[in-house]
Amino acid sequence: DTGVSQDPRHKITKRGQNVTFRCDPISEHNRLYWYRQTLGQGPEFLTYFQNEAQLEKSRLLSDRFSAERPKGSFSTLEIQRTEQGDSAMYLCASSLGVGTETQYFGPGTRLLVL
Amino acid sequence: GQNIDQPTEMTATEGAIVQINCTYQTSGFNGLFWYQQHAGEAPTFLSYNVLDGLEEKGRFSSFLSRSKGYSYLLLKELQMKDSASYLCALPSGNTPLVFGKGTRLSVIA
């Protein structure tokens, strides 16, 4: 399978714990995006990378959230001191990295904070 | 700024045609995307329009009018598997994609 992959697919954690999610983009894609989606809403942009550089962060991204893409390949999204409001689907997408272009999404990580 | 408006829900009959509308306001236009999302799954790309007019792709077509800030997705010969959410999305400023809330389509027999 050469699509975008995410791990884990599901995560249940207790409030206050830290969680980390991983995303592996399509191999030739230079751009990688993180989104959050709650029930009945469209995906909300969180941040994105061009290779290893983080180019944009949403104002929605509080200081408890951090994302990295150290070698320009896979990326991690960490949430520190989780809150119940962090419960959502976290989606990763990737694209080639030229202009306005199609993003291809991974299956997502569903987070439940108890 | 960005404002994207889609109907929340629609219902249509198997075999029929349905049109899902999207209106938007944007300070700079760089194309409009439609994605399909089945419940519990990731969005999958359907279409991209950057010029006015109709783009046809099998049973699905997408239309754009930049002057009116309007797009629609047309689904023909509806099948039960077309029951899903349909998301309209546009680039906005430094944000690669801003999504609407999506239109949940139910196809009934």
Cβ contact B90:B22 at 8 Å: no
Tokens 């550089």 belong to A53
B17 to chain A, any CB pair closer than 8 A? The answer is: no
Query: Which chain B residues have a beta carbon less than 8 Å from that of A100?
Result: 30-31, 50, 91
Nearest to B84 by CA among B31, B47, B23, B42: B42
Give bridge partners of residue B103 from the DSSP assignment: B86
Distance CA A72, CA A107 (A): 20
Distance CA A5, CA A51 (A): 17
Residues lower than pLDDT 50 in chain A: none
> CA of B104: which chain A residue's CA is closest?
A40
- Nearest Cα of chain A lies from the Cα of B71 at a distance, in angstroms, of 17
Query: Which chain A residues have a beta carbon less than 8 Å from that of B95?
Result: 45, 56, 58
Distance CA A72, CA A32 (A): 9
Query: Residue A42 burial (CB < 10 Å; 0-12/13-18/19+)?
Result: buried
Query: Which chain B residues have a beta carbon less than 8 Å from that of A7?
Result: none
Would you place residue B109 in the very low, low, confident or very high pLDDT band (cuts 50, 70, 90)? very high
- Nearest Cα of chain A lies from the Cα of B24 at a distance, in angstroms, of 15
Q: What is the pLDDT of residues B19-54, one digit of tens each?
A: 999 999 988 888 999 999 999 899 999 999 999 999
